[in-house]
Chains A and B, each alone.
Chain A
Amino acid sequence: MKLLVCIKQVPDLESRFKPNTEGSWFNEADLAWRMNEYDEYAVEQAVQLREQLGDSAELTVLSIGPDRVVEAIKKTLAMGADNAVHIQDPAAATKDPWQIASIIAAYAKDKGFDLIFTGMQSQDRGSAQVGVTIAELLGYSCATTLVGFAFDNGTVTAKRELEGGIKGVVKLKTPALVTCQLGLNIPRYPTLPNIMKAKRKEITALAVADLLTVEPLARTASFHSPAKKGGGIVLEGDVDNLVDQLIGILKDKTAVLR
């Protein structure tokens, strides 16, 4: 069985974001990068399935982006993926979800993947589109927002998370694509021996130009901070001082301290 998991590298979201010179996305200088949180769950689920299936299965990881994404790819190899594809694209951030999905579908279309895993959304772009669009382009059945996954005999039993904590249970036959939600599993930390083993695993580099054939369907006209609203107070400075200030406010504004 052939498995594919798609991962995106995103900036540390506690960073300060400033617009780039075109005002279309953030300036990437000085940011720290890591794997999209949702994709960690996708990788973990794919690795668990790879373990369940044994050596008859092969798990490939794919990421589109500049050279830095190789760091995130290496982590997935240390988590247990067999090999990886890096689609080299320094301008990935300026592509719309339709183009990203089209590139992945162009790569995957003649590879015969039985099951594809993606995150439900990326934390920086947050479109929740790429996974479903890949499935549509490949003609795969697709279920989104998984908080439960089981595979048996060519059939996936998936639990979709709905509003209010209700779940919807669905069954789908391979070839299929699933998008993974937070809490689907507990993603593992790579161990040192596995990090060493991962160094021998193959990462194939492909040029994006060979896979991209479509124009964008949407354009980012501007990237900016939210308009500041609400007259909230911001307290900063020495911690002891902050404690006293906050207690003063609690006394004045709330009934908590009588």
Chain B
Amino acid sequence: MSMAVSTTVSRTVDIAIIGAGLNGLVTAAYLAKAGRSVVILEKADRTGGTMGTVEIAPGYVGPAAIDSIELVHPLIIEDLELSEHRIRMIRGGGLILASEDEKCLYFDSNGSIADQVALFSETDAKAFRELNAFLLHVSRALDSALTQPLADPSSNALSGAFNLLKLGWSLRKLGKDEMPEALRFLPMTIQDVLDERFESEALKAMIAATALKGSWLGPRSAGSAYGLLHHSPHWADGLNRTAVFVGGGPGAFTDAVAAVATEAGAEIRLNANVHKILVDAGKCTGVVLESGEEIQARRVVSALDPRTTFERLTGPEWLDPDFLEKIGQIRSSGSVTIVRLALDRMPQFQGTPEGGKSISGRIQIGGSLEYFERAFDAAKYGTLPEKPYLMASIPSVLDPTLAPADKHIMHVWAQFTPTKLQGQIWQDAREEIGDRIVSILDRHAPGLKGSVIHRQVETPPDLEERFGLTNGCLYHVDLALDQLFYMRPVPGWFRYETPIDGLFLCGAGVHPGGAGTGLPGKCAAAHIIKKS
């Protein structure tokens, strides 16, 4: 195959993995531990991707995008022996929930949330316990379908139906009442789920925020209930999920995965930007780096999103138009803007207990379902919401290594901000949305604005540029019902394979999807090991 740039063939490996984010590293670690020779190619100068640690200003570091690790599946921690001697896990505090009326509620992480809810509504406390129990049951029933590749329906659709029935069987064990309820629940809107059960608007908002995280769905969009299940799995204790930070930032966790991989023989190459995946006669033969260096590999595993992989790295010549059409139809919506702040003092949120503990967990701005819906309304027409919903954390409260003494860093995840703006360009809008977000925070924590020493705003196009994410979609492929399970990333290609022999996918865009679980990487590795 002819290349425009001259190439040098450096070496031949078993497996080349593109991208050293969480899933690329998890795949690499499993493959290396299984004895494969692996090289990981990362375009940035450090590993971690969206679960990395980045510098905000000299002396200040913070999370790239995902700030905590409680959604990483415990099997991965166990298999890769990522125990305390490698990482320092720090359990965050409770939740501060700020409503529009500038009132803040505080849920302590030491006590049960339901008990605290009971102080203002017995009905809601009961509903909270019931919903949580239900989510835990369903999540456990689905565990086998999330931690290993989905059963393969062969060319015969009857066996496909059989495999679906098998998954149905594990759901069926939920029982006569919970099983139909699970099937009813999944396609519902989170608003309906919550309106059916709860009285308190603030409590509904607290749960909805979890369901909508990273999505391109409003609370009234069908399928948003699935997001709740996705983000409140049994291993994170369902609705009682609290943030688990890592000493040194989330990058310390991905560093630990990288260390496991390299100790098992994998090689990690930084500043190695893959320019092209090489294909010969329908078979993947390696990659070419931007530098022109060619790396031959029997298998290539892309941790990048499917659109980047197939629209930018492989040529269309080896893919049939139907497949490319499906890839083009994938909805990857940027919806998140990340703001990182360096603060010269600890903010104080009105109406919450004084001191560090109360502020060491999550801070949610957006206290009603309508608040979320209106933020989504603006975004769906390509405009910036007046009031985006914010999910923030100040991990430096419990981890002084992130900032100089008595200084802090704040990580803010803002939704919904569309990738494409109508009648405006992001270059002009970036600082505008940054100002808006800081002002909103300042309303609830007076004085915060004045304490900002440094600020980074990364909009969806920035995230696209920095992490190679199509449209800046942190989940690679939207978490929507038509893009999950057997439909992820595209219908029929749920087994980490691709139409190109020897080319695999292992990123957040494949089953069971992103959010920092590491499960796509684990499942992909399992499948690749089985195939070779």
Are A and B part of the same complex?
no
